Amino acid sequence: MSFDRIKDVLPFITAIGPFVAAFGLMLTVIQLYRNWKIQKAQFLTTIIKDFFADDGLRRFFYKIDYGKFEFDENKIEEFKHSDDERWLDTLLYRYDLLGRLVRMKLLALDDLEFLAFELSRVFNDEEVNKYIKWLESEFEKYGDFASNKRPHDDARWLIEKFRQKRLRERVSSLLSSAINGAKQ
């Protein structure tokens, strides 16, 4: 008697089996996505701590931001091995890492929006740009052995992407204002 009941239920179980498996797969995908978002948030938190908890790096950023950083190519021997060289390289290499992560599509540009102002202050600084220009001459002299075509290429690419994004936002805003103004 019980074997007959199992025989009767078996086609139903066979029919719903794929749906149960698909539902289980969907739950797994949702859980993986949640875990990925949590890990990404933890990673971004670590980035923020790396940038903002390092007192020496913050002081150096403010030195750039307030126009107190100076780079003189004629005094390069004094600059080499100085704290300023070390801090500037640390800052630029951290930006490089973030630029590389965005290029690899592991992070989105929007994920790093909190650094856009800082990046703009550093890469719009005349003295920092003199240093980068000097690095370019060193690249030319000694050859670049990496796939990058210029020093701190990923960081420079990142700031260019932020500039392009900002330009698109401004154009979009102007067009929106013009359209709204024309409607009135």
Q: What is the pLDDT of residue 164?
A: 93
The answer for residues whose C-beta is within 8 angstroms of residue 112's C-beta and 6 or more apart is 47, 98, 102, 158
What pLDDT does residue 96 have? 95
Percent of the chain with pLDDT over 70: 94
Where do the structural domains in the chain lie, given as residue ranges? 1-42, 54-183
pLDDT band at residue 146 using 50, 70 and 90 as cut-offs: low
What is the pLDDT, as a whole number, of residue 34?
87
70-89, pLDDT tens digit by residue? Answer: 999 999 999 999 999 999 99
What's 75's DSSP letter?
G
Confidence of residue 144 (pLDDT cuts 50, 70, 90): low
Query: What Å distances lie between residue 4 and 8, 15, 53, CA to CA?
Result: 6, 18, 70
The pTM (predicted TM-score) of the whole model is: 0.75
How large is the C-alpha radius of gyration of the chain?
Answer: 27
Who's near 103: CB < 8 A, 6+ residues apart? Answer: 154, 157
| pLDDT tens column, 19-73 | 888 888 888 888 988 888 888 889 888 888 888 888 999 999 999 999 999 999 9
Would the pLDDT of 143 be above 60? yes
The DSSP code sequence of 156-172 is HHHHHHHHHHHHHHHHH
